[in-house]
Chain A
Amino acid sequence: MKTMNRWSRREFLRTASAATVAALGAGYPRRLLAAENTTDKIKPTADTVIVLWMAGGMAHTETFDPKRHTPFEKGMSPEGLYSTFPTIDTTVDNIKACQGLEKIARVMDRGTLIRSYTAGDLGFILHSRHQYQWHTGYAPPQTVAAPHIGAIIARTLGPLSPAVPAFINIGQRFDVGEGEELKAFTTAGFLGSEYGPFNIPYPDQAAQTVRPPGGMSPDRFQDRNKFYKRLVAASPIGEFGSDYQKESLERSFANAHRLLSSPAAKAFDLSLEPKESVKKYLPEGVDPGQSVSATQSRDGSYERQTMGRFGLGCLLARRLAEVGARYIEVTTEYIPFLNWDTHENGHTKLADLKKQIDAPIGQLVLDLEERGLLDRTLIVLASEFSRDSLVEGKPDKKVKDQVPVPDKIEDMKNYGMHRHFTDAGCVLLFGGGIKKGHLHGKTADERPCKTIEKRVVIEDLHASIFRAAGISPKLAYEIEKRPFYVTRDGEGKPIMELFG
C-alpha cells in the first residue's frame, strides 16, 4: 500500500490515539485522504446515484449484447445456442439490443453501454459472494464489516436533502431466501449505522415507512411528539449534566422528526402520483390501481411477487430523486432461482422479466430528463455476472457446474442461458456526466461470448461511480488503525472514456 509508507508508523499511531478519545466519543471511524489526493479536487457530475440492480445474473446475450438469434428448435444443440431473442435497433446506430427492451432502446442515446464488465474469480459461483463483492468492492470474508457503496457515499457526501435518508434500498426482502447473506453487505458496516440503508421492500407501501406507525393519525403523531418534548423538559435529568449520549439522542430524534414531518416525506407516497404516470412504469395491462394496493405474498411465486414491484420501485426512485436523495438502489430482488437467477426456462422467464424492467427504466430516464435532473443523476444498471448456456465461470477459469446441460435441447425448459458466466456483462449508465450514445468494450460473437476489448472490473466501475459523485477512489476510512479504501486497496481507476 503506497500511501502507508508516507507515514511513519509512530506518527500514524500518535495521531490515532489523539483522535481515539474523540472517535470513541463519536463512535465513528475517521476519514483518511491519501496524501496525493488532498490537492486533487474532483468536481462531481452527479448529485444523486441510482443503482438499478438486476440481481441474480443478467445474461448479456439476452439483453444488451445480442448475438445471432437462434430460435428454439427441438433437438438443437446447446453449443449452437446464442441469443434466444431477436435483435432490435436502438437510438444509437452501433448499439443493438434484444427484443423486449424497446423502451430502454429508445433512450440509449442518453447513455453509455458497457459490454465488457467481468466479475471476480471467487471459485464456486455463489450469488451472495459476487453480490457482496459488487456492492462493497471486496470479496467476502473480510476481517471487518465492509460497507456498501451506498453507505460510503452517504458517509462521504452526506444526505443531499436533510429530510431524505442518504442511502435508500428498494425492493429486497431480507426474511426470505438468502436474507442473512444479503444483510452481510447491505449495511454501513464499520462506518456505523448512521449511514445504513433505509430499506423499503415494497415500494407501494413506502408511504408507511415515513408515516406514523400502524393506525396512528398525523395529529396524534404530532401530539405525541409535543408531549414527549414536554416530558423531556420536565425530567430531572438536568442534574446529570450534558454528555454526548444525550446530545446524540436529541440530535437524531430531531433528524428523524424532520424527515417524518417534512414535505419531502410525500415523495414516498406513490398514491400521490397521477395514475397516468404510474401506468408508464408498469408492464402493459397491469392496472396501476391494483398494483398500488396489492398485498405482497411471501411464497416466492414469481408472478405474484413481481407484478410491477420493480416498476413502482423506479417510480419511487424518481420521486425521491426529485426531493433530494443521495443514493438509491432499486432491485428486481434476489431470491434463489427467481427473477434473473434462471437455472431453467431462461427464455420464458426473461421474456417476462424484460416486461418488468423495460418500461420503468425507459420512463425513469425520460422523466428525469424532462425534469432537468438527468444531467446530475447517475443511473447505473448492473448485475453480479452474466449467463451462458455452457460455461460456468470463465472459459479459462471454469468452476464446478451447477446446472446440468443436456446434449440436445428438447424442451423450453433447457432453452435459455442457465449457467453462471463471469467473463462478460452489461452495465448501462445514464446521466450524471456520462457520455451520451456511447459504447464501451466488446465481446466475442462466437461462443464463448467473452470480453475481448476494454475489460472493466469492479474497482474501476466503482471508481467511475465515485468520480461522478466527487469521491476519490483512494479515499480511505480508518478502522482498527488501518485504512480501508473505498475501492480495493485504493487501486480503482475511473474509466475516463465514459465521461462526456
Chain B
Amino acid sequence: MLLLAGLVGSGRAELTPEQVTRLPAPANRPVSFRQDIKPILEASCVKCHGRGRNKGGFRVDSRETVLKGGESGPAALSGKSAESYLIELVSGIDPDNVMPKKGSKLTPEQVGLLRAWIDQGLPWDSDVSFGRMQPQNLTPRTPEVPDAKHGGLSRPIDRIIGRYFEANHIARPPSVADRVFARRVYLDVIGLLPAPKELERFAADKGADKRARLVKRLLADDQRYAEHWLTFWNDALRNDYKGTGYIDGGRKQISAWLFEALVRNLPYDQFVAQLINPTAESEGFTKGIIWRGVVNASQTPQMQAAQNISQVFMGVNLKCASCHDSFINDWTLADAYGLANIYSDEPLEVFQCDKPIGRKAATKFIYPELGDIDAAAPKADRLKQLSEIITGKKDGRLSRTVVNRLWAKFFGRGLVEPVDDMEQPAWNNDLLDWLAEDLVAHGYDLKHTIEQILTSQSYQLPSVGLSEQQEKVFVFRGPSVRRLSAEQFVDGVAALTGNWHAKPAGEFDFTCVDPDARNTGSGLKGKWIWSEAAAAQSAPTGAVYFRRIITLAHVPTQAMAVVACDNSFTLYVNGKNAGSGKEYKNPALIDLRPHLRKGTNVLAVAAINSPPSGDKTATNSTDNAAGLYFHARLRQGRKILDFGSDKSWLWANDKDEGWKKPDFGVTDWKPAIELGDAAMLPWKLEKKLAQTVAGTVMQGKARAALVTADPLMIGLGRPNREQVTTSRPSAATTLQMLELTNGKTLSELLQKGAAKLVENGLSGRQLVERLYLQALGRKPTGDEWRLAEELIGSSVQKEEVEDLLWAMLMLPEFQLIY
C-alpha cells in the first residue's frame, strides 16, 4: 500500500512495480504541448492550480512550477513519468487520492498523453502560461494616435476610428443632419427634446463650429444637466427616494449630495473618493441596505460595499466571489473579503457558501499592484487609503470604467462589453485608453469627456440597427439606434402637454440651483414672530392671529409660501383657506397664486400654540415655545420679490368678525414681535426652510428623475434600485405597451394636456405643426398633414387632440433616438 505519511517537502514513497504496471501506458508518439496537453491542463487543473490559485501550494502556471511542485514535492520528474506524483494522482491508482478533485476524472488516454509528455521532457510552448493573467485595462497607457492624414479628421477619437474603419474596410458615411444631431445631443446632455425655436436658431446658424457650440451650451446648463444625469447615477449608486430598507432605517439617500455634485460638476475622482470614504451626506452608497433578521454572509453591509464599489468604479464582479471562489472569473473569496474587510471595524469572519470556515479575513485591495491598505490602521484611515488607491494616478481602471460607461450611453454599446466586466479587451483599446487618459489629463472632468465624444465625427455617424450586427465579433459602424429612457419619455410628454410633476420627492437641497440663494446666501426673508418677546422660551397656549397686507402691481408668475409654526397654523389668503400645517419640522409649501389678485391682498394666519406633549390641561408651562415663520417666494418673470414674517405683521389674541378680509378695521392690532432669524433656537430650521424655498424653483415643473417612480415609469424600465443598475434593457415589451395603450397614468396626462392645448385657442393647423416641431423637430410631411387634419378637423376638440398626441408619442420616430 502506498504510504502517504510524511509527504510535506520530503518526497514520498514510490509506486510498487505492480502498481506501475497498472498505470495507463504512455502514448506511443511525440506529443504536442499545444494540441494534447494544454487542453487537459485547462480543463482539469487550472481551476484549482492556475490563474492565481494554488491549492496544496501547487501551480500549473509554467514548466518550472510543475517541476517545482507544491506541499507534496515535485509534481513531475522529467523523463520519468512512472515516478511522477502527478501521474499517480490522475491515474486514480489510490482511490482516496485522485486528481482532479472536482469534475470528470482523466481518461486512460489522457493519462497516457501526460506520461508521454513527461517522458519526452515536458515540452512547453513559451507563449503559454496558466499564471495569473495580467489584468486588462488596469494600468495607465497613452496610445499612439494616428496622424491627421486619416480622412482629414482632426480629433483623436476620429483618427483612431478612422484607422479602425480602414482596417475593417468600412467606408465612413456622411454625418447626420442638423435636426438628428440636435435631438441626440439635447437628449444625451440634458435629457430633453430640443425646443422648436432653439432648433430653428440652430438650423439658421451658419457657423462651421455650430455643433460644438451647441454641445458646450447644453453642458453649461447645470440644472438641466444634473436633472438628466441624476437618473444614470441613481441607477448606478442604487439611490432612490422610496424602496426596501427605508422602512426601518436600514438605508439612506445620497440624493442631496449627488444632485449638488452634478450641478457643480464635481471632478470624478473627488466624486468617487467621497463615495468610497464618505461624509454623512454621501455614506448611503456604502452603507448598503441593512436588513433585519439573518442575512446571508455574502450580503452583510461590508460585503455589499465591496461588491458595489468594485462593480461601479472598477468594472469588476465580486458577487460570485462573495460566497466561494468565482466560477466565472478569477476572483477568489479572499479577494472579496479582503475588500469588504476595509469597511469593517473588526476583521470579518470568512464564510464560504454561508458556512464559517474558521478564519478571519485578511485586508487587501483587489489589485495589489495599485497599492495596499494598512490592515492595522483604524477604519477611517483604511477608507482614506482605499479612496486614494482607487482615485490615484496608478489606477487606470477608474478612468477606463467611466469613459466606457459614457461611451455605452452615447453609442448604445460600450468599448468593453459587458460594461461591468472591464477585464475584457475593448473592441478598440487605443480608443478606450485615449479617452481615459484624456479624462485624467483634464482633471477628471466628465463634462470634458462628454464634450469630446459628442463633438466627434464618430458620434455624428448615422445610427446603426443592431439587427445589422450579424458578425460573431462586434464591428463598430456608428451609434446604435437607442430608445428614450423612461424619464426622457415622461419629460417628453410633459414638454408636449405642459404636465410636469408637482414637486420633487427625495431629500434634495436646491439651494445650489436657486439663483436667489446663490446671490444672497440662504435667501430667507422672514423672522420668527409671535405676540411676546420670550416666546422662543415659553408662551401661553392658545391661538394668536396674524395679518399682513400686500399690494401687488400684477399677479406674480409664481407665488408660494413656506410656513412653519410651532405648533400649528392655518393660512387664509383674501379670506380663502389656502393651507395649513401641523409639524414645524416639515415646513408647509403653499401655493398662494390661485388666491392672489392685482392690488390689495390680505394674508391672515391663525397660529396655535399647543400644550406640551399632549398635556391638554397645562397652561403657561415653561417648556412651551411658540413661533411663526413665513417666507413668501414671489417671482415676476426673472425678478424675485420675496418677503417674510416680521414686525410689519399685526397680531391679536381674538379674531373679530372679518379678520381675514382686507376691509377689516385693524385699529387695535399690534405689531408682531420679532424673535430672531431662521437659524435661531429652539427650532434651528434654517436649512430646511432654505431647502423648501429653493425647491420652489421647480414648483409644478419637477422632472421625472426627481420624483418617485409611477406605473408609467416602471413600465418603461425605471429599475427598482435595490441592486446597482448600470444599464437598462431598452426593447419594448407587451406589458409596456399595455401601460402606454390603456394605462391610467399616461391617459390622464394626455387628457389634461389636450384640455390645455385646446384652451390655447390654436387652429388645427397650428396645433399639428407645433406638436410635430416639439415632438420630432420637424414639420409634418404632406401625408402627415392630411392624416392629422382628417383627425382634428375644422374645430379643435379635446378627444381628437388626445388621440393625435397619443399616436405621436407611440411613433418609433418619437420613442427612438436615431
B703-744 contact mask (Cβ, 8 Å, vs A): 1 or 0:
000000000000101011011000001111111111011111
Chain B residues with CB below 8 A from A272, complex form: none
Q: Give every chain A residue within 8 A of B247 (Cβ-Cβ).
A: 178, 180-181
* A231-B807, A482-B328 known; A242 vs B742 contact (CB < 8 Å): no
Q: Is the CB of A9 within 8 A of B328?
A: yes
Let me know if A257 is at the binding interface, CB within 8 A.
yes
Assembled-state Cα–Cα distance A126/B243 (Å): 16
Instruction: Name the residue among B294, B743, B746 with the largest chain A CB count within 10 angstroms.
Output: B294
> Which of chain B's residues has its CB closest to A121's CB?
B294
CA distance A382 to B1 in the complex (A): 58
Please state if A227 and B420 are interface contacts (CB–CB under 8 Å). Answer: no
Contact with A along B740-771 (1 / 0, CB 8 A): 11111011100100000000000000000000
Which one of A97-105, A210-218, A318-326 contacts B?
A210-218
When chains A and B are docked, how far (Å) is the Cα of A139 from the Cα of B294?
10
Binary per-residue interface labels of chain A (337-378) against chain B in the complex, 1 for a CB within 8 Å, 0 otherwise: 000000000000000000000000000000000000000000
Residue contact B246 to A482, C-beta cutoff 8 Å:
no
Min Cβ gap A52→B in Å is 23
B679 at interface by CB-CB < 8 Å: no
CB of B103 closer than 8 Å to a CB of A: yes
B253 at the binding interface (Cβ < 8 Å): no
Query: Which residues of B sit under 8 angstroms from A139, Cβ to Cβ?
Result: 296
Residue in A165, A256, A399 whose CB lies within 8 Å of B741: A256
Chain B CB count within 10 A is highest, among A139, A250, A399, for: A139
A493 to chain B, nearest CB (A): 19
Chain B positions 771-806 with a Cβ under 8 Å from a chain A Cβ: 781, 783-784, 787-788, 791, 799, 803-804, 806
Within residues 619 to 671 of chain B, which ones have a CB less than 8 A from any CB in chain A? none
Interfacial chain A residues near B791, Cβ < 8 Å: 227
In the complex the two chains form, what is the Cα distance from A311 to B776 in whole Å? 48
A122-B293 Cα distance, complex, nearest whole Å: 6
Contacts of B289 in A (CB 8 A): 141
Q: Is the CB of B320 within 8 A of A482?
A: yes
Asked if residues B742 and A210 are in contact (CB atoms below 8 Å), the reply is yes
Q: A139-B296, A245-B816, A480-B420 are in contact. Are A187 and B720 (CB under 8 A)?
A: yes
Residues on the A chain within 8 Å of B304, using CB: 141
B748 neighbours in A (Cβ, 8 Å): 214
Asked if A10 is at the interface of the complex by the 8 Å CB criterion, the answer is yes
Q: A24-B413, A193-B736, A231-B787 are in contact. Are A122 and B294 (CB under 8 A)?
A: yes
CB 8 Å contact bits of B448-472 with A (1 = contact, 0 = none) = 0000000000000011111111011
Contact of B293 among A1, A9, A126 (CB under 8 A): A126
A228-B807 in contact given A18-B472, A129-B293 (Cβ < 8 Å):
yes
Q: A5-B102, A5-B103, A252-B736 are in contact. Are A224 and B807 (CB under 8 A)?
A: yes
A12 to B327, CA, bound (A): 10
Interface string of B266-297 (1 = CB under 8 A from A): 00000000000000000000000101111110
Q: Quick check: A194 and B733 within 8 Å, CB to CB?
A: yes
Closest chain A residue to B778, Cβ basis: A236
B470 to chain A, nearest CB (A): 9
Near A by CB (< 8 A), chain B positions 113-164 give none
A128 touches B465 (CB 8 A): no
- The reply to whether B803 and A143 contact each other, CB–CB distance below 8 Å, is no
On whether the beta carbons of B295 and A141 are closer than 8 Å, the reply is yes
| Cβ A27 vs Cβ B328 within 8 A | no
Contact B784 A231 (CB under 8 A): yes
Tell me, yes or no, whether A260 is within 8 Å of chain B by CB: yes
Taking A27-B730, A242-B467 as contacts, is the C-beta distance between A235 and B811 under 8 angstroms? yes
Q: Are A198 and B738 in contact (CB under 8 A)?
A: yes
Residues of B that sit less than 8 Å from A by CB: 42-43, 46-47, 102-104, 242-244, 246-247, 289, 291-296, 298-299, 304, 307, 317, 319-320, 322, 327-329, 413, 417-418, 420-421, 424, 462-469, 471-472, 474, 480-483, 715, 717, 719-720, 722-723, 729-738, 740-744, 746-748, 751, 781, 783-784, 787-788, 791, 799, 803-804, 806-808, 810-813, 815-816, 818
Give 7 nearest A-B pairs by CB, closest first. A243-B465, A123-B294, A123-B293, A27-B729, A213-B747, A256-B737, A194-B733
